[in-house]
Chain A
Amino acid sequence: MNDFDLKRVPLRDLNAHLHNDPTDEVTVKNPGGRHAIAVGIDAAIDVTIDGHVGYYCGGMNKRAKITVAGHAGPGVAENMMSGRVRVKGNASQYAGASGRGGTLIVEGSASARCGISMKGVDIVVAGDVGHMSAFMAQAGHLVVCGNAGQHLGDSLYEAVIFVRGQVGDLGADCIEKEMTPTHRQTLSRLLEQSGFQHSPDEFRRYGSARGLYHFDVDHADAY
């Protein structure tokens, strides 16, 4: 157990500790909206942050379980590789951007571009997500237990999106698809892991129509 009070200790000291032989459990007090808290960890440790964080908290995380007991600024868990990041409050823009693995859980809502360019991460949001979520998303799952904003899944590749509530509208090349037993199973697992009680039957699935995978002048009006 190790406590870092960011009112007294520089952020550099915290991240250096997390990079170099960290203790199994680390608690961060008074984060005060600071940016780049607990970034670049490569260790199976538990990090709890008591308060709100700024940009890029948990960025590029590997293996660690990071809990933000507050709201998260833009780019929380960006380019995450593995492990788990849980935000007890809301998350700002680009949550989980370009994430390649692991799980990001947002217990509140996420803002615009949630899961933009995601490459394998699983993102589960208890509330709503903003516009352009899963833009150019390549792989992984985005689960939205509330509503999704406009242009969901625009220019989507192979990521899979599940939405329980309403969708503002779908972006270019994103379509609703059949919820197969395999998808229902995956969704059930993600909800259970995240601690959310919804039934997979309440969700609809969206994916890529794959119509833009090869440039065709007949699709020019899609851009």
Chain B
Amino acid sequence: MPDDRALRESATFPASVLAEIHRAADQGIYDIRGFGAKRSVPGFDDLLFLGASMSRYPLEGYRETCATDVTLGTRFAKNPVDLKIPITIAGMSFGALGANAKEALGRAATLMGTSTTTGDGGMTEEERRSSKTLVYQVLPSRYGLNPDDLRRADALEVVVGQGAKPGGGGMLLGQKITHRVAGMRTLPVGIDQRSACRHPDWTGPDDLEIKIQELREITDWRIPIYIKVGATRVHYDTALAVKAGADVVVLDGMQGGTAATQDVFIEHVGIPTLPAVRMAVEALRELGVHREVQLIVSGGIRNGADAAKALALGADAVSIGSAAMVALGCNRAVHVDDYAALGTGPGYCHHCHTGRCPVGVATQDPELESRLRPEQGAKWVRNYLTTMVLEMQTLARACGKSHVLNLEPEDLSALTVEAAAMAKVPLAGTDWIPGNNP
């Protein structure tokens, strides 16, 4: 029997680090997994709202209107995207997700009056049919990209990067490359598919400006064009996206999810969403285009509070990916034996890359996929989005706002010095913003 008093864990080599070194020694390859960053980073939990009191007047919670609508793509597009709520469904590929999951997301988004987004692998009939407003991604891989889908999209999103892996391309391991997925991507069945990290026909923002002109010409300037970037050098990337002609900038923080990426990439590249949103808003303001070029923020948005705080910092909308999957049943405590077969359990699963998703969300296996009925999934996501909206409205009314987009940095206070510095809102109980007024 070990003596508990002698069991002293190393801070440098805790059990998790030892286990990873053992795994690397056994397998000789980096760990590839799904989900997003698991490390703790400063986030929206480190901010609080300053509700109204003597100097501000709140709105009645159940009587006075608090609007949530937002219009995206007003800069150049003939037909901007009108959304009833400022929460969109982020791009997730058919391939990473099953067709039922994509359909469920489309149905829920349509019920809520918001948009959903395709992913690396093209547009499926299921998601086009079920999504009233569908954003079509133009990715470096160009899998499935075609002008017909371009023209039946409601907006385009040129993906430069994603928060889970800025600088990295998509990855879909062979076990998920079924005949249908392979056909859409023009690839052999069953191979490990590693997408390009750079677009094949442009390099740099000057080229991208010309690329966007081409996309506008092909779509007759009808629909908005978003540019999505992973959060790294946010100030420059936002400014360059504006210069390149974006109608909307989509900014994905490092907490953003992925279906399959190297763990070292997920945990060690990119910056958190909290500073990223503030930096993007500063860049837009400097260029005089804040609110003219809309900003969608994603990466670790989990509830109405996160969404409201992102809007208060200046975003026009937020986007959810991982959270929407969780609403569909990801990590729900059902089919526990199947989690165990993957060597994990509900609450810890990040095995999207295996294609053996116990709840039928991130899989191409017909039997597993049948566990998620699109009607049920749509109901869950609709309920979850409804809850998020009610939470946002509750917070906005408490701050005296008749529209969630009227929330502002002045409504916020930071719990930690780090959050105060990153979001540039005062540390609670002080007027101190580190870096602003030392």
Chain A residues proximal to chain B, CB less than 8 Å: 11-12, 15-16, 19, 35-36, 39-40, 42, 54-56, 59-60, 62, 74-75, 78-79, 81, 93-94, 97-98, 100, 113, 116-117, 119-120, 135-136, 138-139, 157-158, 213-215, 217
Q: Across the interface, do A138 and B150 meet the contact criterion of CB distance under 8 Å? A: no
Whether A213 lies near B192 (C-beta < 8 A) is: yes
Q: Report the minimal beta-carbon distance from A33 to chain B, rounded to whole angstroms.
A: 11
Closest to B185 in A: A138
Contacts of B337 in A (CB 8 A): none
A-B contact pairs, 23 of them (CB 8 A): A11-B217, A16-B220, A36-B214, A39-B214, A39-B217, A40-B150, A56-B211, A59-B218, A75-B201, A78-B200, A78-B201, A78-B214, A97-B200, A113-B200, A135-B200, A138-B186, A157-B187, A213-B174, A214-B174, A214-B191, A214-B192, A215-B192, A217-B28
A42 to B218, CA, bound (A): 10
CA distance A39 to B105 in the complex (A): 32
Cα separation A54 to B213 with both chains bound (whole Å) = 12
In the complex, chain B residues 188-238 whose Cβ is within 8 Å of any chain A Cβ: 188, 191-192, 194, 196, 200-202, 207, 210-211, 213-214, 217-221
Interface size on B, residues (CB 8 A): 33
| A60 close to B147 (CB less than 8 A) | yes
- The answer to whether B74 has its CB under 8 Å from any CB of chain A is no
Secondary structure dominating the interface of B: loop
Q: Which residues of B contact A (CB under 8 A)?
A: 27-29, 141-142, 145-148, 150-151, 174, 185-188, 191-192, 194, 196, 200-202, 207, 210-211, 213-214, 217-221
State whether A35 touches B145 (Cβ < 8 A): no
Excluding A213-B191, A214-B191, 10 further A-B contacts by CB distance (< 8 Å) are A19-B220, A35-B214, A40-B218, A40-B219, A56-B201, A59-B214, A79-B145, A79-B147, A94-B201, A214-B174
- Which residues of A have CB within 8 Å of B217? 11-12, 15, 36, 39-40
Contact (Cβ within 8 A) A40 B192:
no
Smallest distance from the beta carbon of B118 to chain A beta carbons, Å?
Answer: 16
The 10 closest A-B pairs by CB, nearest first: A40-B218, A98-B142, A75-B201, A213-B191, A97-B201, A60-B147, A36-B214, A117-B200, A94-B201, A97-B200
Majority DSSP secondary structure for residues of A touching B: loop
The distance from the CB of B148 to the nearest CB of chain A, in whole angstroms, is 8
Chain B: CB-nearest residue to A20: B220
Chain B residues whose CB sits within 8 angstroms of the CB of A113 once the complex forms: 200
Bound: A119/B142 CA distance, A: 9
B201 lies within 8 A of A42 (CB): no
The complex places the Cα of A19 from the Cα of B201 at a distance, in Å, of: 23
User: Given that A98-B142, A98-B200, A214-B174 are known contacts, is A60 also in contact with B210, CB under 8 Å in the complex?
Assistant: no
Partner of A40, one of B29, B145, B147, B196: B147
| A52 CB to nearest chain B CB (Å) | 15
- For A157, list chain B residues within 8 Å (CB): 187-188
B200 contacts A116, CB within 8 Å? yes
CA distance A150 to B219 in the complex (A): 36
Residues of B within 8 A of A120 (CB): 186
Contact pick for A215, options B29, B142, B147, B213, CB 8 Å: B29
Indicate if the CB atoms of A158 and B214 lie closer than 8 Å: no
Residues of A within 8 A of B141 (CB): 117
Contact A94 B200 (CB under 8 A): yes
| Chain B residues with CB below 8 A from A117, complex form | 141-142, 196, 200
Chain A residues within 8 Å of B221, by CB: 12
Would you give the shortest CB distance from A60 to chain B, in whole angstroms? 4
Please state if B214 and A56 are interface contacts (CB–CB under 8 Å).
yes
Residues of B within 8 A of A81 (CB): 146-147
Which of chain B's residues has its CB closest to A138's CB? B186
Q: Cβ of A135: which chain B residues have Cβ within 8 Å of it?
A: 200
**Residues of A contacting B214 in the complex (Cβ-Cβ under 8 angstroms):** 35-36, 39, 55-56, 59, 75, 78
When distances are taken between beta carbons in the complex, the residues of chain A under 8 Å from B186 are 100, 119-120, 138-139
